[in-house]
Amino acid sequence: MTRLIFLGPPGAGKGTQAQILAEHLHIPHISTGDILRQAMKEQTPLGIKAQGYVDSGELVPDQLVQDLVEERLDQSDAKSGWILDGFPRKVTQAAFLEELLQKIGQGGERVVNLDAPDDVVVTRLLSRGRKDDTEEVIRRRLEIYRNDTAPLIDYYSDRQKLLTINGDQSQEDVTHELKKTLGS
Ligand code: AMP
C-alpha cells in the first residue's frame, strides 16, 4: 500500500513525477491544483470560488481544499493508495490531513520532498505557459511556498516521514531516484 505526499516548490516537477509514479503503482494521482483548474473550467461553485485565488497565485481557503481532499480520499479508487500532489500546502492543512487519515484509517503515508533551486524552477515555470505562470504570479507563488509550505519539511521530518529527492536533474533521473528510494 503506497500513500505519498509530494512536497516541493512550484516547478520542481511534482506533477510530472507524481503522474509517472502513480501510473507505475496503479494508484490515483490526486492534484488539488488540477481539480481546482477543472472546476474553474466547468465553472462549478468550487471553481467560481477558487478562481481569483488561483489566478493570482494565492492559496485558496483551507476549507475549500480540505473538503475537496476529504471527498476525494473517500472514493473507492483511493482505498488502494494514492499520491497527493499540492496538498497539504501549509501546516494547518497538514494537521487536518493527519486527523483525517486517522479518522478514515489511511495511515502510513510518506512525504517526498522534491527540491530544486529557485533559478531552475523559475526557468521551468516560465516555459510552461500556464495562466498562472506569469513572472509576477510565479514570484508570489514562490514567496507563499517559502512562507507557508516549506515549514512542512520540518513538520514531516520531525514525524520521520520525509524523503528528499533532488529535483534538479533530468526527468528520467528523478524518476529513477524516486523509484529506488521508495523501493518500487
Ligand atoms: P498547483 O497546480 O499545485 O501549482 O496549484 C495551483 C493553484 O491552486 C495554487 O497556486 C493555489 O491557488 C491553488 N491550490 C492548489 N492546492 C492548494 C492547497 N492545498 N491549498 C490552497 N490552494 C491550493
Helix (H) or strand (E) holding 162: strand 162-166
Cell of 127: 516555459
- Beta-strand ranges (E) seen in 23-80 are 29-31
Preceding omega of 117 cis (within 30 degrees of 0): no
As beta bridge partners, residue 111 has 5, 162
| pTM for the full predicted model | 0.95
* pLDDT tens per residue, range 66-94: 999 999 999 999 999 999 999 999 999 99
Q: Which of 59, 67, 121 to mutate to test the pocket of ligand 1 (most atoms within 8 A of CB)?
A: 59
For the Cβ of 8 lying below 6 angstroms from any atom of ligand 1, the answer is no
Task: Name the binding residues for AMP.
Answer: 32, 37, 58-60, 86-89, 93, 130, 141
As beta bridge partners, residue 112 has 6, 163
* pLDDT tens per residue, range 39-72: 999 999 999 999 999 999 999 999 999 999 999 9
**Nearest ligand 1 atom to alpha carbon 87:** 19
- Rounded CA separation 64/36 (Å): 10
Quote the pLDDT of residue 131.
Answer: 87
**Nearest ligand 1 atom to alpha carbon 58:** 12
The residue nearest atom 2 of ligand 1, judged by CA position, is: 33
Cα four-point dihedral sign 70, 74, 75, 79? positive
Tell whether the model's pLDDT for residue 128 goes beyond 90: no
The residue nearest atom 14 of ligand 1, judged by CA position, is: 33
% of the chain exceeding 70 in pLDDT: 100
Helix (H) or strand (E) holding 43: none
